[in-house]
Amino acid sequence: MDLRPLIRDVPDFPKKGIVFKDITPLLGNASALAFSIDAIATAHIGKGITKVVGIESRGFIIAPAVALRLCAGFVPIRKPGKLPWKALSESYGLEYGSDTIQIHEDSLEASDRVLLVDDVLATGGTMGAALKLVQRAGATVVGTAFLIDLAFLGGAKRIGQPVFSVVAYQ
């Protein structure tokens, strides 16, 4: 299925010079959404994944559905101040600034095999920070999955983990 017509370019968002890939039209199309979730889940069947970790905010939309397909639990990674329990934090750089993400310190165990999920892989900053959080929590990262990989930005090389994407922009 060709998903590109359902991914909208939004110029100068969130700041001038950035072309944001808006997945809202894709999410609103039931067939495209089902195709995307099935593609991610199918690529990771048989890898012993026990937890699917979704990164705020659009990773939250995809990760729980993938987790259900893999018979795994779901764990959120959120921005500071959003998690109600003790959390580990990791700061990182973006192509347009910096940010911090957090995970509950008790959400993963050493026996967990984790698939990290987000909507877009750009420079790898957010996913790199998420990888560090999962590793600090003691779990093993099995792979990463995205709806979109902006491959021309080189994020996959920076994160040093297996990358699966439904759509790649070279």
What residue segments make up the domains of the chain, in order of their start? 4-168
pLDDT values of the chain reduced to their tens digit, one per residue, 170 residues: 999 999 999 999 988 988 999 999 999 999 999 999 999 999 999 999 999 999 998 999 999 999 999 999 999 999 999 999 999 999 997 766 789 999 999 999 999 999 999 999 998 999 999 999 999 999 999 999 999 999 999 999 999 999 999 999 99
Total number of residues shown for the chain: 170
Q: Which residues are catalytic?
A: 58, 95
Average pLDDT, the chain: 95
| Structural tokens at position 153 | 């930005």
Count of other CB atoms within 10 angstroms of residue 32 = 21
DSSP lists the bridge partners of residue 143 as: 115
Checking DSSP bridges between strand 163-168 and strand 140-149, what pairing results, if any?
A: parallel
d(CA 102, CA 98): 14
pLDDT tens-digit readout, 127-163:
999 999 999 999 999 999 999 999 999 999 999 999 9
pTM: 0.94
Domain 4-168 has CATH 3.40.50.150: no
d(CA 147, CA 151): 12
